[in-house]
Amino acid sequence: MTDDLISGSNIDEPEIKSRRGISPVWILPLVALIIAGWLIYKSVVDAGIPVVITFATAQGIEKGKTRVMFRGTPVGLVEDLVINEDFKGVDVRVKFVKSAQRLLTQGTRFWMVEPRISAEGITGLETILRGNYIAMRPGEGKETRQFTALSEPPPMTSTEPGLQIQLTASNQGSLTTGSMVYFRGIEVGRIERCALGKNNDVVIDVFIKKEHAPLLRKNSRFYTVSGITLEGGLSGFKIQTEALSALLKGGVAFFTPKDVPKGQNARNGDTFRLFESKDAALQEGSMITLVCEDGMGISGQTLIKYRGLEIGRVTGVSLDRDMIHVVIRASIQRKFQSLMRDGTEFWLVKPKLGLAQTKNLETLITGTYLTLKPGTGKPKDTFTVMAKAPETIEVRTGLQITLEAERLGSIKPNDPVYYRQIKVGKVTRCRLSENATSVLVNVDIESRYAPLVRSDSKFWMASGINMRFGLFSGAEVKTESLEALLEGGIAFATPSQHSETEAYSSNIKGRGVELNESVTEKRPSPKSPQASSPSGRPARKGDKFVLHDKPEDAWLKWRPIIMLAK
């Protein structure tokens, strides 16, 4: 610092103070450092999670633009697109926000959301303006960074509370994603996906809304309700449609059978069978095999009835391997399964038209059906179909008695038994006695009318026409009812005490239609025409009576007081 130009100056050497200390200016870089440090820290904390999602095609995915959305919130951004090494897909590199870390597990599914117009509506409309996006559905499992995208949206709603179940069907039919699930006509869920299953059957993912989930039981049955059901029969026509939307989109419905002990609530992942129709669903039950000599017009729609009620349905008819027998597959509703036992006999009910008998006329229209007589043996599932109904099909709990006649006449099983022209029972079986000297006719008297039969009762064949000619009395024709005339039958009468007979002035009350019968007739016993209690003891089960060819006149006039059973 010495300055030799200013010579002669009397200035003292300046006192040099060294000033040590940090300039406050250094606060500035410090602040900058703090800001930068904070930014770095934030970027580290918020640093995205790099994830690779493999797509079959990257159509509509844009680098730096396409987002991954979760519940409408962007959680990731596509950073780069790289074609696979084997050219079989596109690796989409996505950076996820840190908070999405726990969503990235093995079960997580990704798929593209594109605008889509279909029967169930227009979806993904927002993508038209904002571009396609990748949707995700978090799943379970370990965290991972490698995913393979689905080619189509998965069942959408595992996040929505409700029940996820599966149906298996043989055919997708008109069901599509978005088809509804109905319960008594009310929408309770929807179909989310239809796909081919492992066994080439159609697996349908179904979602049931939470509030309706308790309706679904383990034993519930699903059936397709697409379109219109038309049913016709003697009783009239029935047209059934589900909601209009079901008509358009198809749908499934379910019901829960009541018969079984209340089933448990269905749980997520349960699998149900989808039946083609409600009938088929109702029919659902065990399969049985019937073998017969002749197809006899049995088809896939032939019903199996028991006492007039439908209990099952034939599902298929085919020949056996030897081409000798016809094999019929039929399904029996579960609640009637107990009828399928050793000893159960099946036969086909066909219309029968004839002078003597017209039967089963309804089968002309409703078709023939199979019926059965249940056996009592062990359960089994293979039966032989008999050519005709077995002789005895009655298991009724009436009074069973046996009549003995010299010959059968026109009596045959099911012929009526009359008491004062009222049908009170029927013939159940006709057979030869063991030593072939007579014919035994088994008769079943309805329990209500059982007291009418007493040990002294007389039985006679009511079939045919009785004609008598007399010079003075003119011609006399006696018949039972017209039905008895055509079909034949058995009539009986029970005498009053003291074996007396009574005459009546009115032929309405008399036994049988008496044409030209004289009003005044001789009475075997001069007693007032007052009814009295019947004679003999009450008939017991298995009692034997003689079956006369024709009644004696007196029998027709018996009129004991007998209280009918209730």
Smallest distance from another protein to CB 13, Å: 9
**Footprint of another protein on 478-517 (CB under 8 A):** none
Q: How far is CA 386 from CA 196, 348, 373, 380, 410, in A?
A: 42, 7, 11, 17, 24
Closest CA to 336 of 311, 356, 355: 311
Among 18, 23, 200, 520, binds another protein (CB under 8 A): 23
Smallest distance from another protein to CB 228, Å: 46
Smallest distance from another protein to CB 129, Å: 6
Interatomic CA distance for residues 195 and 202, integer angstroms: 6
18 binds another protein (CB under 8 A): no
**Inter-residue contact 256 to 304 (CB < 8 Å):** no
In the numeric block, which tokens belong to residue 301? 């729609």
Spell out the residues 6+ positions from residue 54 whose beta carbon is closer than 8 angstroms to its own. Answer: 84, 89, 90, 91, 92, 146, 147, 148, 149
**Footprint of another protein on 139-198 (CB under 8 A):** none
Q: What is the DSSP secondary structure assignment for residue 248, as one 8-state letter?
A: H
**Inter-residue contact 95 to 50 (CB < 8 Å):** yes
Smallest distance from another protein to CB 5, Å: 5
11 binds another protein (CB under 8 A): yes
36 or 361: CB nearest another protein: 36
Interatomic CA distance for residues 311 and 335, integer angstroms: 8
Residue with tokens 């379910």: 254
Smallest distance from another protein to CB 193, Å: 31
**Inter-residue contact 94 to 78 (CB < 8 Å):** yes
CA end-to-end distance (rounded Å), the chain: 146
In the numeric block, which tokens belong to residue 507? 């032929």
30 or 122: CB nearest another protein: 30
129 or 323: CB nearest another protein: 129
28 binds another protein (CB under 8 A): yes
Closest CA to 507 of 417, 421, 449: 421
9 binds another protein (CB under 8 A): yes
25 binds another protein (CB under 8 A): yes
**Footprint of another protein on 62-101 (CB under 8 A):** 65
31 or 356: CB nearest another protein: 31
26 binds another protein (CB under 8 A): yes
25 or 324: CB nearest another protein: 25
The site string for another protein over 214-233 (x = CB under 8 A, - otherwise) reads: --------------------
63 or 352: CB nearest another protein: 63
Interatomic CA distance for residues 156 and 193, integer angstroms: 9
**Footprint of another protein on 246-275 (CB under 8 A):** none
**Inter-residue contact 166 to 269 (CB < 8 Å):** yes
Q: How far is CA 431 from CA 373, 407, 479, 481, in A?
A: 20, 10, 26, 25
Total number of residues that touch another protein (CB under 8 A): 22
95 or 329: CB nearest another protein: 95
In the numeric block, which tokens belong to residue 22? 């940090």
Interatomic CA distance for residues 452 and 447, integer angstroms: 10
Smallest distance from another protein to CB 256, Å: 48
6 or 234: CB nearest another protein: 6
14 binds another protein (CB under 8 A): yes
**Footprint of another protein on 109-138 (CB under 8 A):** 129-131
Closest CA to 404 of 514, 266, 547, 213: 547
36 binds another protein (CB under 8 A): yes
Smallest distance from another protein to CB 39, Å: 5
Smallest distance from another protein to CB 87, Å: 26
38 or 185: CB nearest another protein: 38
**Contact region for another protein (CB under 8 A) — 2-10, 370-378, 402-410, 445-453?**
2-10
**Contact region for another protein (CB under 8 A) — 10-18, 55-63, 279-287, 485-493?**
10-18
Helix ranges (H only) for 52-177 are 126-130
**Inter-residue contact 110 to 135 (CB < 8 Å):** yes
73 or 151: CB nearest another protein: 73
Smallest distance from another protein to CB 249, Å: 33
Strand boundaries in 391-524, DSSP class E: 399-405, 416-419, 422-432, 439-445, 458-461, 465-470, 474-479, 490-493, 513-514
Smallest distance from another protein to CB 32, Å: 4
14 or 236: CB nearest another protein: 14
199 binds another protein (CB under 8 A): no
Spell out the residues 6+ positions from residue 564 whose beta carbon is closer than 8 angstroms to its own. Answer: 448, 449, 451, 452
For residue 370, count other CB atoms closer than 10 A to its CB: 25
Smallest distance from another protein to CB 45, Å: 15
> What residue ranges bind another protein (CB under 8 A)?
3, 5-6, 9, 11-12, 14, 23, 25-26, 28-29, 31-33, 35-36, 39, 65, 129-131
